[in-house]
A and B are shown apart, each in its own frame.
Chain A
Amino acid sequence: MPLIDPVTMSSTTASPKASSPIEVLPKDISRIVSQAHPALLLAAYYMRFPSFVVDPVSTLLSSLLPLAVIQIGYTVICLPPAGTSTKATKKPKPGASKKGLETPTSGPLTAFIALTLTILSSPILFAIQILFGAPLTTHLPHTILSSLHIALLTIFPLVYVHGTDAGKWREIASFYSPIDEVFGGAVGCLLGAWMGAVPIPLDWDREWQKWPVTIVTGAYMGYVAGILVGAWLLKGKRIELD
């Protein structure tokens, strides 16, 4: 994979091959786990949903660890850790791999670093929710926990595969990364959380309308949809914002 020059990277239309999509590791176990991962997440979410509606805070809190385990397992088994690339290993170029993390890195260690960064970055997601109109004076644990869940779904796999390369992260922040199952999942998760706000104002008086049930539900469903779309439908394409 060619190194991205920060200047040319931004004018990616001129150099569309600036970065390429992430491939699942070419092992049978990786393929199987990557297929099972969305199904497992949805099933687990479905099972926890009733208690989530009854007591959002403690359910979100108690499911953080299982979620982290699922995400760590998925990334370590299926995805190339930062600094390695399925393609880069095939045709290495001199001086090409100057990623933020040194190569080659072990999966678990990368996962640990990614986990730390994920937790550190969740305040940004928290702030975004507040700016979109989440309650400021009440429900703070709810919002913090929903940020952590969303961070584990989006930021964690992204850090795991891309490390802390500034150019790459600018590409991700501008939603211009080539679509693959990691980036697709992240975009889907954020879009899902965004759309999760839609039913909140309705006066149906349902328990599940309370904060942040719909947001987190939208995030999970969007994440799964994003993974599927990213892995199959739109792989390698880019989001144009013209």
Chain B
Amino acid sequence: MATPNFPKPAPGSQNSNTIAAQYARAKALKDAEGKPKTAPAASAKQQKSTAERLNEVKKERFMSEWWWVLGAFVWFLFIHVTGLYYFTKGFLLTRLVLEEHSACAVPPIAPITSFKGIGTVEAGCWHPKTFDKAVVVIIDALRYDFTIPFTNQSEAQAYHNSLPILYDTAISQPQNAFLLPFIADPPTTTLQRLKGLTTGTLPTFIDAGSNFAGEAIEEDNLLMRLKEEGKRMVHLGDDTWTALFPGYFEEGISKAYPSLNVYDLHTLDNGVLEHIMPLLREKEKKEQWDVMFAHFLGVDHAGHRYGPNHPAMTAKLQQMNTVVGDLIDSVDDDTLLVIMGDHGMDSKGDHGGESDDEVQAALWMYSKKGIFGRTDPAFVTPPATAKIRPVQQIDLLPTLSLLLGLPIPFNNLGKPIEEAFAGKNGNDRGNLAAVTRMAAAGIKRYQAAYYAARGIETSTAEGSPHDLWETAEKTLVKGGVKDKMFRDPYLAFSAYQEETLRICRDLWARFDVPSMILGVGILAAGVLSLMLYANTNSDDEDSIEDLELERAEQQMELEVFAKGAEPVEAETTSRDMVRTAAIGTALGVATGPIFRILMGGDSLLNFGLAPGAIGGLIGVLGQEGKGRMKVTNPFPKTFWGWLAATFTISQSIGFASNSYTIWEDSILLFFLTTFGVAAAVKSLRLEKIADRTLGVYHSGAFIALGWLASFSKLCREEQMPYCRSTYYATANSSTSAPWQLLIPFVLAGFLPSIIKSYYAGSRSYEGFAPVWIGWVFRGGLVLSAIFWTLDAADDAEWFPNLPSGLLKNIRVPIAQTILAIALGAGTTAFIYAPPCVSITTIPGASTSASQPVPAKATVTILGFANVHGTRYLLLVLNILLTLLLVQKPMGFGALSLMTWQSLSLLELLDLTSLTTSPIGPITLALLSSFHFFKTGHQATLASIQWESAFIPLHSILYPYSPILVALNSYGAQILGVVFLPLIILWKQKPKKRGILRSLIAALAWHVAYFATISLATTMWAGHLRRHLMLYRIFCPKFMSAAAALVLVDLFGIAVALTGVRWNSGSVGEIFGWG
């Protein structure tokens, strides 16, 4: 608060009550006082217009400078995206897709025994066929332990013992049915699984990103073989199939349903059921198809929405149990029935990764022919856990192909499933050897083609596939065709298949190392230039607060300007940097085609982007380097600089270890508490007892609130058993507990008051602030709280009598209203709002008539001392309101605590004069990274809260759905970067100089933290690319850090920088430009 006292010559008109008019009036008083009393009126007028012109020039300078700053951060974004692009291109695994297809008449090897009709689909292309027709049913996310009995009743979960029919039939009719664990290759998303199941090969990681939109499979696959051999296919259910296999299915009888609405458990399943039974039972319809693919999603959606341990899951599994019973009754003797899960689900019902629960699905096959057998009588009982006798999901493809008499698709790497070919009595070893050899020969043919295409030498060493194949062929020759001896060839060919599969898994971890190094190099140079940019623009010392000096400076500036001199040189180095970067990039891009000609191949984009980025980086680094040749000490100069560097660097190093990656949330709490303690220690050194007390109070609040937030946990699997999830009602659910629903209501009451208390410190709760914070913001919070209550009511079916969908129809408009308030009205309000000040003029107290001197009036401006900060905070609150809506109730609490902590951080930095130190922006970055975890996220694919896409929407809507998921996932980081300008703006008076300069230094430090973390995780992921935990830990962490970096860049540009422009504009228009 400041109350400048202006001497008063005349009261002037007091009608206008806008702040601008009030301030102009007050300013006029001051100017009139400033000039010597003897000066003629004309001179005064001229000086005044000089001041106005100077103000104009300053405004223009700010605006044009702002554009250069914007350019600088856009360039950094470009560098980050380019670096990440090259790394990702080399890192996310690629597999060469071969064009070759298998053909019915061309087996990879002549069969051991010929048979009648060989080479025709009627008898069997490569092996005598067993079935004419097949019904393949996928129950999405059917985990193996859903299907086997669980005897301990007291510990049984909702998903136990609800789908017993698969197990029971396998035991009671072993020749008709068998049940086995069915292990998926990660990534365990439905799209990737369907690719793996139909092509028999291992999908590579790069496809994981395309979960939202499938693409047609070009590789040889089961459906391609079926189509070529004239089989008619019908499809029901999940529309991922039609995206992967467009034009394959019989029109009219096929029916696809949208698959991504996880809130809807029944529409798709009921649709499938409506169509499947007529197709199986009605004679006329039965003749229209040969192979049916039906894909149920209810189990998967129940998992995503409620988690596996929920009555909805029990109901869904019981429904599936009935469905299986009906299917058994409906199929005829010549039809094979296959029921399987494409992947499992983790303890919360999500999937995507490679944890045991996610990869362990179930496979059950059934036929009325009674041809299934076991090579050991003990195998009749299905395995008790998925670790015993599992089959790989790629094994289904050769099994189905040979049973249906089809050629095995060209890229297959699986082997036929023993139970399907061992014969009724489990002793038909001749058959087993024949099918295994045929599949192995296919693999050998594929391997040879792949090696030829890639130019890899085949090893002939002992134990190599080549050697194993030779051995297998020898055992075959020795053993002749006698059944007893056939055990050896079967095992020998199996060994060949297993070794080849192992090698292929390794091989497809083929990384493009030069591209990865290029990406890392660009990112590293980007971090360096960002830090140099931050450093050149940071102030070495705090400007001294001296009103007299300031006034004298202003006066001098005015005089110099009146003589016609340009005011001052550019405020920041952005202009030079952007120019150099642009020239460098242009030159670099120009050399791109030359590189392309020299090195050949690849797309022009790849050859233009890298030289462009490198050219710009060389230019910027060269320029920065030249300017600071004399600076020899690259280390931080202050304790706080060291602290910031320690936090960032030790964390970066820590990401090389899976433990520190897993426990990142605890480490961040540790660092934040460390900062809080250091700030408390620093505060104790302050001179004034009031400052000391405030400093200790805010440090304490900062620490305590962070600690409180640390109770919101969503544990990742690797943290078990040392972690207990609290984010949802139970560890096995993804719905909030009733008490958690109170959090938003409580905060709707408290949070605005807490924010108000931070305004009160500088008497800034004036102007627009009471309306916006006390009413609009609070109203938005209440609506949010109501939204989440309705959501919970819908989930738990509190009101079973209400028509279904009614609650959804009520809450979606509520969410839309909140967004309209926060983003629509909020932005408009922010642009046009006056600063949070109140100006009062108390007329001079001319009490005494005898007084000869004119009485003085006092102009009081409440909130003057924090004009910039309090106004900008309104923008932060709008963003906060948006982010709070898309968080679950616990996340709502976490982000509110983060806001409170950030406000205390501002006060602390101000008290300890650390606003221009890197520690502020870095602590804020740590804080936002910490709350990423506290809003129920982890650096894993499974923790993405996909359902947030539906908060204000009824169905998937591009581009809004992905944006909502991003706002949910990175809400804390977004809030952090939007909050960041306050470190500079908080408690700054109008006309404060160098705001933009300090701001870009702060923003650059903040971004530098995320860029460093991103660089480190990139490097480690690249370096540890053969690590066992790559896809479980390092790769997800790298992706999560990269996404955070890009989002922080984007929101820094779009909200923080842009917001400051409007904010400074508004303040400058009224109080003049600094």
Contacts and interface: CB of A to CB of B under 8 A. Distances in A.
B707 A201 contact: no
A175 B684 CA distance: 9
B684 A173 contact: yes
Contact of B673 (A11, A12, A133, A170): A133
A241 B685 contact: yes
B667 A128 contact: no
B325 to A, nearest CB: 46
B686 A173 contact: no
A201 B685 contact: no
Contacts of B692: 10
B684 A170 contact: yes
Centre residue among A128, A173, A202, A241 by max chain B CB count within 10 A: A241
Interface in A153-194: 170, 173-176, 194
Contacts of A242: 638-640
Contacts of A197: 670
B267 interface: no
A128 B682 contact: no
Contacts of B674: 132, 194
B173 interface: no
A36 B781 CA distance: 64
B714 interface: no
Given A133-B670, A201-B667, A174 B659 contact: no
A167 to B, nearest CB: 12
A80 to B, nearest CB: 25
A203 interface: yes
A116 B59 CA distance: 65
B666 interface: yes
A201 B677 contact: no
Contact of A132 (B640, B659, B670, B685): B670
B685 A176 contact: yes
A153 B447 CA distance: 68
Nearest to A240: B639
A194 B682 CA distance: 18
A25 to B, nearest CB: 30
Report which residue of B657, B682, B685, B692 has the largest number of chain A beta carbons within 10 angstroms of its beta carbon: B685
Contacts of B639: 240-242
Interface in A189-242: 194, 197, 201-203, 240-242
Nearest to A239: B639
B472 interface: no
A202 B659 contact: yes
A133 B669 CA distance: 7
A131 B659 contact: no
A47 interface: no
B687 A11 contact: yes
B44 interface: no
Interface string B659-684: 11011001101100110011001101
Given A131-B703, A131-B707, A133-B669, A203 B685 contact: no
A12 B684 CA distance: 12
A174 B692 CA distance: 11
Contact of B660 (A132, A173, A201, A241): A201
A45 to B, nearest CB: 24
Contact of A174 (B663, B666, B684): B684
Interface in B610-631: none
B453 interface: no
B681 A173 contact: yes
A10 B686 contact: yes
Contacts of A65: none
Contacts of A133: 666, 669-670, 673, 707, 710
Contacts of B678: 241
Given A133-B710, A202-B657, A203-B659, A241 B670 contact: no
A170 B696 CA distance: 12
A157 to B, nearest CB: 20
B674 to A, nearest CB: 7
A226 to B, nearest CB: 16
A202 B704 CA distance: 26
B927 to A, nearest CB: 15
A134 to B, nearest CB: 10
A11 B673 CA distance: 26
A8 B673 CA distance: 30
Nearest to A7: B687
B658 interface: yes
B681 A201 contact: no
A224 to B, nearest CB: 23
Pick the most buried of B659, B669, B703: most chain A CB atoms within 10 A of its CB: B659
A206 to B, nearest CB: 12
A173 B663 CA distance: 31
Given A10-B685, A10-B686, A175-B681, A131 B660 contact: no
B684 A201 contact: no
Contacts of B703: 131
B659 A201 contact: yes
Interface in B8-28: none
A207 to B, nearest CB: 15
Given A131-B673, A197-B670, A201-B666, A241 B681 contact: yes
Residue picked from A11, A176, A201, A242, most chain B C-beta under 10 Å? A201
Contacts of A194: 674
B696 to A, nearest CB: 9
Contacts of A12: 685
A201 B673 contact: no
Contacts of B662: 201, 203
B710 to A, nearest CB: 7
A49 B667 CA distance: 26
A154 B50 CA distance: 65
Nearest to A130: B707
Interface in A79-98: none
A190 to B, nearest CB: 9
A176 B659 CA distance: 36
B918 to A, nearest CB: 14
Contacts of A173: 681, 684
Nearest to A135: B722
Contacts of B673: 131-133
Interface string B691-714: 010000000000110010010000
A81 B875 CA distance: 58
A176 B677 CA distance: 14
Nearest to A194: B674
A239 B307 CA distance: 53
User: Which of A10, A173, A194 has the most C-beta atoms of chain B within 10 angstroms of its own C-beta?
Assistant: A10
A203 B1027 CA distance: 15
Given A11-B687, A202-B659, A241 B667 contact: no
Contacts of B640: 241-242
Contacts of B660: 201-202
A16 to B, nearest CB: 14
Max count, chain B CB within 10 A of own CB: residue among A12, A128, A133? A133
A174 B707 CA distance: 22
Interface in B814-841: none
A146 B681 CA distance: 23
A131 B666 CA distance: 11
A202 B682 CA distance: 32
Contact of B682 (A132, A203, A241): A241
12 contacts: A10-B687, A128-B677, A130-B707, A131-B707, A173-B681, A174-B684, A174-B685, A175-B681, A176-B685, A194-B674, A197-B670, A201-B666
Interface of A: 7, 10-12, 128, 130-133, 170, 173-176, 194, 197, 201-203, 240-242
Interface of B: 638-640, 657-660, 662-663, 666-667, 669-670, 673-674, 677-678, 681-682, 684-687, 692, 703-704, 707, 710
Given A133-B707, A201-B659, A202-B657, 14 more contacts: A10-B685, A11-B687, A128-B677, A130-B707, A131-B707, A133-B670, A133-B710, A174-B684, A201-B662, A201-B667, A202-B659, A203-B658, A241-B639, A242-B639
Pairs of residues from A and B, 3 with the lowest C-beta to C-beta distance, nearest first: A174-B684, A201-B663, A203-B659
